[in-house]
Amino acid sequence: MSQELRLEYLNAIRELRRNSGRSKKSLILDEFSSVCGCSRKYGITILAGISSTIKRWFITSLGFGGKRAC
């Protein structure tokens, strides 16, 4: 699959998942994981649109990173 097709597929699945109920979201995630060959947890992160920079900032700001203030 080319990069453009992957991005198009990702955007279509994101939109479909946003407008679905809980049971449908699970099925969509299963399909996405099998097509892309990634784990469900990583699939959730990708479909939620959470970038690694935001995720890293969130983890370190809550004190779950390697260095703590206390």
Give the pLDDT confidence score for residue 46 in this predicted structure. Answer: 84
pTM over 0.75: no
One digit per residue, pLDDT tens: the chain, 70 residues? 677 887 888 889 999 999 999 999 999 999 988 988 888 988 888 888 777 666 666 666 655 555 555 4
Q: What is the DSSP letter of 66?
A: S
Give the pLDDT confidence score for residue 7 in this predicted structure. Answer: 81
Exposure on the CB side of residue 59, measured as CA atoms within 13 A: 11
Give the pLDDT confidence score for residue 58 in this predicted structure. Answer: 60
| Burial of 21 from C-beta contacts in 10 A (0-12 / 13-18 / 19+) | exposed
